[in-house]
DNA sequence: CAATGTTGGGGAGTAACACTATCTAAGTCA
DNA sequence: TGACTTAGATAGTGTTACTCCCCAACATTG
């Protein structure tokens, strides 16, 4: 398949495909001459994946590259796979952030295994700080209910990880983490509308 | 308080405060002469709110302006407040999107009150489409578990809305929706690490 | 009163990001 | 043969969120 056919098959402009090739998001096609190369199904699949990560999950090009690299590299440990996905959506925390508030929450929720991921803890601390700076104080009881719901979701996540193939497991974990986030947020908004209507009524305008 | 003092109090550069003034995110100070104005606590609070919405919640400047306008305008209906927050984080859907798959899900979950919000439904459809384009097929049972968890969260959300003041309720709903999203996502990641460790073990590297 | 510093207002500049367009030489295909 | 396509490279575009600079007008300090 030529580049124009690849573009037609994926609805991605040729210029954009060339850009992804330059940025090493997409692997090169097989050169058949100095100015011709052939692409195949693997390029179609990869391109759709790239578009989902950039478009749906909102990753940057460089974060997408890291995720794709992670998907290709040997799995090492089943647990560490999460790090690939989480690192892609979490900016690295400086050394001097105070994570004690996050540690206290992790203790309360029994999430001891998460105590080693400083970056995500810092993201939690930053998000809670942004909340309180805005004058919104989240009661502990509310956070506890959130934590219980998120634990349900996380258990559903690991329950559905395929155990037959390490590669399938890796793919599942990374994509399930990244691409499911917008799904969850949209579901929350819809559930809020439903709950709000049942509680307060509404005009539906 | 002069602009430099406002900058010192909020850790926001003077040039950025001027930018927010130009963009009408921040209300003008009281002019005491042609080249002097006074600012007060309301500016400090507003500036912190702006920074939380832009920094923590990741809103754009124009979305932030809409949210702030919504917070100032009369509340109208308790239920419609959600629309202000949801509209700020959801891009408007074109007229020709097919929402039938979203409608089916809403029916299944009993979220009938959400059937009028086309934009958020379109966001759900788009997110699910991105997932399947990436070769990740979410089983219905997984989505159902997600839906149950999100309903818990939404009920916790409406349970904690203050009922004494309409203004406080509005503030709570909008901020609780927007600023809580990064909190929830960080919590999911931490919960995943905990669940993954308990299920698979791990090196913790 | 003078020297120094700050401010409002406005325009222009910047850096990052994700493309998008154009060009050339070297092909392919009918 | 001649129209079309391509790889590879360079440069340009549009958006966003600032950031810098300038000036006249003021405030503050000595």
**If contacts are CB pairs under 8 Å, which of residues 1-30 in chain B contact chain A?**
none
Q: What pLDDT, on a 0 to 100 scale, did the predictor assign at position A103?
A: 97
Task: Return the closest nucleotide (C1') to the Cα of A32.
Answer: C27
Task: Please tell me which residue lies nearest to nucleotide C8, judged from CA to C1'.
Answer: B35
Residue A133: which of B48, B128, B157 has the nearest Cβ?
B48
Q: Is the CB of B35 under 7 A from strand D?
A: yes
Which pLDDT score is estimated for A174?
Answer: 87
CA distance linking residue A38 with residue A5, whole number of Å: 10
pLDDT for A72: 86
Is A189 contained in some domain? Answer: yes
Whether A116 is covered by a domain: the verdict is yes
Residues of A in contact with B75 (CB under 8 A): none
- Residue B87 has which token pair? 């509209």
Evaluate whether residue A105 is within a structural domain.
Answer: yes
Domain limits for position B178: 98-200
Q: How far is the C-alpha of A104 from the C-alpha of A33, rounded, in Å?
A: 62
Q: Answer whether residue B133 is part of any domain.
A: yes
Tell me the average pLDDT of chain B.
Answer: 91
User: Cβ(B182)–Cβ(B58) under 8 Å?
Assistant: yes
Q: What is the pLDDT of residue B197?
A: 87
Assigned domain for B164 exists: yes
User: How far A25 CA sits from the closest chain B CA (Å)?
Assistant: 14
Asked if the structure places residue B132 within a domain, the reply is: yes
- The per-residue pLDDT string of chain B (205 residues; one tens digit each, 9 = 90 and over) reads 999 999 999 999 999 999 999 999 999 999 999 899 999 999 999 999 999 999 999 999 999 999 999 888 866 665 567 788 888 889 888 889 999 999 999 999 999 988 989 999 999 999 999 999 999 999 999 999 999 999 999 999 999 988 888 788 888 888 999 999 999 999 999 999 999 888 877 554 4
Residue of chain B nearest A110, judged by CA positions: B194
The span from the CA of A95 to the CA of A46, in Å, is 36
Q: Is the shortest CB-to-strand distance from A29 to strand D under 7 Å?
A: yes
- pLDDT value of position A74: 67
Residues 100-159 of B with CB under 8 A from A: 106, 109-114, 116-117, 120-121, 123-124, 126-131, 133-136, 138-139, 142-143, 145-158
pLDDT value, residue B82: 79
- From the list A111, A173, A202, the residue facing B79 with the nearest CB is A202
* Interface touch A187/B117, C-beta < 8 Å: no
Pairing of strands A36-38, B30-33: unpaired
Q: Give DSSP secondary structure letters for A17-47.
A: HHHHHHTTSS---EEEETTEEE--HHHHHHH
Provide block-wise average pLDDT over 10 residues at a time, chain A (205 residues): 96 97 97 94 97 97 94 70 84 92 97 92 96 94 98 94 84 92 97 88 53
- Split into its structural domains, chain A has a count of 1
Position B17 in a domain? no
Contacts with A, B 76-105, CB within 8 Å: 77-80, 82-83, 86, 89-90
Q: Do the chains contact at A189 and B86, CB–CB below 8 Å?
A: yes
Closest residue by C-alpha to C1' distance, nucleotide C19: A16
Cβ contact (<8 Å) for B145 and A158? Answer: no
Judging contacts by C-beta atoms under 8 Å, the chain A residues touching residue B126 are 56, 182
CB B195 within 8 A of CB A151: yes
Q: Which residues touch strand C (CB under 7 A)?
A: A 13, 15-16, 18-19, 32-36, 54, 60-62; B 2-5, 14-15, 18, 21-22, 28-29, 31, 34-37
- The two most distant CA atoms of chain A are separated, in Å, by 68
What are the C-alpha distances in Å from B17 to residues A145, B35, B41?
37, 16, 14
């Amino acid at each position: 398949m030529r580049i124009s056919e690849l573009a037609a098959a994926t609805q991605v402009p040729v210029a954009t495909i060339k850009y992804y090739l330059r940025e090493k998001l997409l692997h090169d096609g097989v050169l058949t001459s100095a100015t011709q190369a052939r692409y195949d199904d693997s390029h179609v699949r990869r391109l759709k994946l790239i578009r989902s990560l950039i478009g749906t999950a909102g990753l940057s090009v460089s974060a997408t590259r890291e995720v794709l690299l992670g998907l290709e590299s040997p799995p090492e440990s089943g647990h560490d796979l999460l790090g690939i996905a989480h690192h892609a959506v979490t900016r690295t925390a400086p050394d001097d952030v105070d994570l004690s508030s996050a540690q206290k929450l992790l203790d309360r929720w029994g999430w001891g295994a998460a105590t080693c991921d400083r970056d995500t803890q810092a993201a939690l601390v930053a998000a809670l700080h942004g909340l309180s700076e805005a004058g919104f104080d989240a009661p502990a009881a509310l956070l506890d209910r959130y934590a219980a719901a998120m634990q349900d979701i996380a258990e559903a996540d690991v329950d559905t990880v395929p155990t037959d193939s390490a590669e399938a497991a890796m793919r599942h974990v990374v994509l399930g983490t990244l691409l499911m986030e917008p799904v969850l947020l949209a579901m929350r908004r819809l559930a809020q509308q439903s709950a709000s209507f049942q509680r307060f009524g509404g005009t539906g305008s």
